Amino acid sequence: MATHTTSRAGTTSSGQAPGQAPEAAGRYVYDLAEGNAGMRSLLGGKGAGVAEMTRLGIPVPDGFTVTTAACVAAMESDGAWPEGLWDEILTHLADLERRTGRVLGAAERPLLVSVRSGAAVSMPGMMDTVLNLGISDGSAAALAEETGHPRFAWDAYRRFVQMYGEVVEGVPGEVFETELAALKDRRGVEHDTGLTPDDLQGLVATFRDAVRRTTGRDLPTDPHEQLRRAVDAVFGSWNSPRARVYRELNDIPDDLGTAVNVMQMVFGNRGDTSGTGVCFTRNPATGARERYGEFLLDAQGEDVVAGIRTPRRLPELETLLPDAYTRLLATMDLLEHHYQDMQDIEFTIEDGTLYLLQVRTGKRTAAAALKVARDLVAEGEIDRATALRRIDAAQLDQLLHPTLDPDQAGTPLTHGLNASPGAAVGTVVFDADTAAERGKTENVVLVRWETTPEDIHGIAAAQGVLTVHGGMTSHAAVVARGMGKPCVAGAGDLRIDRDARTLTIGDTVLTEADTLTVDGTTGTVYAGALPLVQPSITDDFSTVLGWADDVRRLGVRANADTGPDAAKARELGAEGVGLCRTEHMFLAADRLPVVQRMIIADAAAERQTALDELLPMQQADFEDILTAMTGLPVTIRLIDPPLHEFLPDLVEQSLLVQRLETDGPPDELDQARTVLGHVQRLAEKNPMLGTRGVRLSLLHPEIAVVQTRAIIRAALAVRGRGLDPRVEIMVPLVGFAEELARLRAVVVATADEELAAAGVTDLGYQVGTMIELPRAALAAGEIAEHADFFSFGTNDLTQTAVGISRDDAEGSFLAAYLEDGIVPADPFASLDVEGVGELVRIGVERGRRVRPGLETGVCGEHGGDPASIAAFDGLGLDYVSCSPYRVPIARLAAAQATLRGATRDDA
């Protein structure tokens, strides 16, 4: 029976992971020589990678892979292994013993193995590993005699007890770290490499005692039992909290499961002719074509990525172990050419002999992704379409992160490694839980001795990361780069007092009330908040997005309510404004009182006075936007104000009246009572579905008249300056065709009156509507008779179709729904294709049936989400509109959608 249970995840009824190769059925274990890169979904990324390297003749330790199908079957059965799995493992273990001439747990020529996870989608550091499995008192002594290196043998043994104790037995890692630190302190050494063989042998006994004290049982001595429990623990780590957080952050399905790779150990801790390292075939931070990586001599396994010791730069290996370095460079070239992409490689050198333990596509910053893609095309390795497919569209957001203002740099507190580019400002926090909590309401910088996979939620919430230990390939660096978070690692002169919760740098002491600025581009740390500047667009950015523009079918516009927003959107490649929300223009302090007077006016004349005051304000705003977007369409939505957003709060106004009744001036009391009466009269139980949008303008047509005048006058003024304004006037919240017909008549009459007064006949304005109610989508044929265009407002369409209040749900049940898998994604972040997407499809089809060629777009937040953009492309929309800084994401995502469509058509 399995000793470690895992929570159930959604799978197919057969226990196979979706998309798995058919050969998975009935078989769960493959030797490395049986696999290849095309079996990734079955063997996991690590298993497929080492199998492919075996096929290419690259030196890889021998072993076998337990498939993802086995993990999925175990999850499906609440942790119980599928029938026959253990027998398969034993059979493949016996074959491995025969090939190596070694036996697991033997007193002579013992076989030691690693047990490592390997999901189909790379999740660095998120799941568990056990090294040196099979070692015991007897086999440790045998290894010491066989190698003539007793320190290595006992070091391997203490590492096994530590990793097995933590991963399989559940002993907290700090239990072992505390004992190790105490021993180093007693011996007066800084690193564990300074400990003697006797020290390490004693540490093995200390660690075993720690396991016994913590768990109440001894560490098992049967190597087969150890192997079974280790495999089961790796299965279980698929659903560890850190793995689940990582999958949520990176949109990785929960039902894929992990493979388990059991491989013969090779040892980087056999002295100064041995070592371990991680390297990239190109620089993952910049994309430069250079050898990039780190290593440690006399080290093993996780030492480099865990940040326990600050590693050395890869070029230093040439001097220390030149033959191994030359072979490593040749292998790096071979693998990059084979995979036609930048590769991330883990290697071990044992007594001068090079072994590769893993190869995978290297995680990189957005800037590096663009440069690598551009360079690989220039080098003839890939074509442009392949380059576009490979870039993560959402990752482009990183390119718009701020950097330090070079003209206002402060005095550096300290320097570390420039592990992930960009700059961040935030208050200091010392643990991931605090970062996750405080990061909800303020900017924080997570400061750690070194990060671990358990810190993933804190890194996600922080603006930046600063660590004392670790290098360019440490956990902090890799995860921060993947998230686009600035990171400075290996700042060795930091001193963290966990109990006092202070950070000391030289003579400076910082607490969790103090602010830091970290510059991940240079590796510099400053006290206080330094000014940041927005980044400039690089040649790589412009070139690759130019390729995307050549490919994509969907247009990309921006949601912009001001001239500067429109100008920034155009700079980032927007092809117009898809949504200008006029009510957002009224929230400024000098305008809100005027709008309030307009809303609460009892008499038409009083309302008209307020509108006349607003007209020049709106006209000036429209002129700025039309000027910034000259030659491109600008869709201006008529006012759509949920009234509660523009009026005083009913409770607060009532309390104000009560206070003034006690001791307030009579004139202030009268005014407050008058306002309270208006607020009570206009209060609505559900203002989001109340008197807003077209309803407000039909009740008070003078509002639409004034807005239309402001729009047309602005367009005429811009044209008078020799520019080319292109106006689209949008009527919001239409549910009935008659609503649009009547308000369109008001808009057209007003616009034509303005044009006639100016002697202009060819402005070419359009009048359309926003489809944001289910009835509007269903009645799109009738509505299209009065519309020049449709723009789908998927924010409100989602609320009204799904019956979820966005403001309420995101703070209450929606998080639980996502956690429990009731819904696959936040429907306000990624389009609900089956529900809301179906309404969009119906609206497009019925609208175009009546008005062929009807322009259709989307202006909700989904317009900047890559998955939603793919759906909109399939639905035949003409454009998406999103916030200015998501325009680059939408441009690339639209190109990728076109390429996917072409691939489907070819198939």
Most confident of 298-312, 573-587, 871-885: 871-885
pLDDT digits (tens, 9 = 90+) for 495-546: 888 888 999 988 889 999 999 999 887 788 999 999 888 777 889 999 999 9
The phi-psi region of residue 11 (left if phi > 0; otherwise alpha if psi is between -120 and 50; otherwise beta) is beta
Alpha helices in 639-736 (DSSP H): 650-663, 666-682, 694-699, 701-720
For residue 428, give the DSSP letter: E
pTM: 0.78
Task: Tell me what pLDDT residue 385 has.
Answer: 97
Please report, as a single letter, which amino acid is at residue 361: T
Q: CA separation (Å) from 616 to 232, 591, 711, 881, 903?
A: 71, 11, 10, 27, 52
Give 146 or 551, the one with higher predicted confidence: 551
Task: Tell me what pLDDT residue 810 has.
Answer: 60
Q: Of 552, 579, 553, 555, nearest to 565 (Cα)?
A: 579
Instruction: Show Cβ contacts of residue 754 under 8 Å, excluding neighbours closer than 6 positions.
Output: 708, 709, 712, 713, 716
pLDDT digits (tens, 9 = 90+) for 690-736: 778 899 889 889 889 999 999 999 999 999 999 999 999 999 999 99
Task: Tell me what pLDDT residue 4 has.
Answer: 32
**Can you tell me whether residue 219 is helix, strand or coil?**
coil
Instruction: Show Cβ contacts of residue 87 under 8 Å, excluding neighbours closer than 6 positions.
Output: none
Do the beta carbons of residue 96 and residue 264 sit within 8 Å?
Answer: yes
Q: Of 828, 866, 870, 875, nearest to 848 (Cα)?
A: 875
Q: Distance between CA 516 and CA 531 in Å, rounded?
A: 12
In the chain, what percentage of residues exceed pLDDT 90?
60
Q: Does the pLDDT value for residue 239 go beyond 50? A: yes
Band of residue 9 on the pLDDT scale cut at 50, 70, 90: very low
Q: Does the pLDDT value for residue 8 go beyond 60? A: no
Q: Does the pLDDT value for residue 7 go beyond 60? A: no
Q: Does the pLDDT value for residue 3 go beyond 50? A: no
Task: Tell me what pLDDT residue 811 has.
Answer: 59
Show the tokens assigned to 265. 């150990």
Task: Tell me what pLDDT residue 23 has.
Answer: 46
Task: Tell me what pLDDT residue 397 has.
Answer: 77
Q: Which of 38-52, 189-203, 226-240, 717-731 is predicted with the least confidence, judged by mean pLDDT?
A: 189-203
Show the tokens assigned to 419. 């592990």
Q: Distance between CA 67 and CA 88 in Å, rounded?
A: 11
Q: Distance between CA 428 and CA 443 in Å, rounded?
A: 9
Show the tokens assigned to 65. 């892979």
Task: Tell me what pLDDT residue 248 has.
Answer: 78
Q: Distance between CA 200 and CA 628 in Å, rounded?
A: 70
Q: Does the pLDDT value for residue 659 go beyond 60? A: yes
Instruction: Give the mean pLDDT of 188-215.
Output: 92
Widest distance between CA atoms in the chain: 102
pLDDT digits (tens, 9 = 90+) for 244-268: 878 877 788 889 999 999 999 999 9
**Can you tell me whether residue 103 is helix, strand or coil?**
strand
Show the tokens assigned to 226. 């150890």
Residue 203, Cβ neighbours under 10 Å: how many? 23
Do the beta carbons of residue 292 and residue 283 sit within 8 Å?
Answer: yes
In the chain, what percentage of residues exceed pLDDT 70?
90
Instruction: Give the mean pLDDT of 87-91.
Output: 97
Task: Tell me what pLDDT residue 263 has.
Answer: 97
Do the beta carbons of residue 360 and residue 277 sit within 8 Å?
Answer: no
Q: Which of 274-283, 431-440, 540-549, 658-667 is predicted with the least confidence, judged by mean pLDDT?
A: 658-667
| Angle, CA of 534, 535 and 541, to the nearest 5° | 145
Most confident of 85-89, 127-131, 903-907: 85-89
Output Rg (C-alpha) for the chain, integer angstroms: 32
- Active-site annotation, residues: 475, 859
Q: How many residues does the chain have?
A: 907
Instruction: Give the mean pLDDT of 562-577.
Output: 93
Q: Distance between CA 146 and CA 144 in Å, rounded?
A: 6
Instruction: Give the mean pLDDT of 203-224.
Output: 94
Mean per-residue pLDDT of the chain? 88
Do the beta carbons of residue 73 and residue 2 sit within 8 Å?
Answer: no
Band of residue 471 on the pLDDT scale cut at 50, 70, 90: low
Dihedral sign (CA 321, 322, 326, 329):
positive
Pairing of strands 855-858, 879-882: parallel
Helix (H) or strand (E) segment spanning residue 515: strand 515-519
Band of residue 478 on the pLDDT scale cut at 50, 70, 90: low
Task: Tell me what pLDDT residue 815 has.
Answer: 77
Phi, psi of 179 (to 5 degrees): -65, -40
Task: Tell me what pLDDT residue 22 has.
Answer: 39
Q: Distance between CA 55 and CA 36 in Å, rounded?
A: 7
Pairing of strands 532-533, 403-404: antiparallel
Task: Tell me what pLDDT residue 906 has.
Answer: 61
Instruction: Give the mean pLDDT of 220-235.
Output: 95
Show the tokens assigned to 231. 């495999």
Q: At what angle do helices 223-237 and 85-100 cross, to 10 degrees?
A: 120
**Can you tell me whether residue 906 is helix, strand or coil?**
helix
pLDDT digits (tens, 9 = 90+) for 767-776: 999 999 999 9
Give 798 or 411, the one with higher predicted confidence: 798
pLDDT digits (tens, 9 = 90+) for 18-33: 333 434 457 999 999 9
pLDDT digits (tens, 9 = 90+) for 346-388: 999 999 999 999 999 998 888 899 999 999 999 999 999 999 9
Q: Following CA atoms 365, 367, 369, 375 in sequence, which dihedral angle do they give, to the nearest 10 degrees? A: -140
Show the tokens assigned to 112. 């030691």
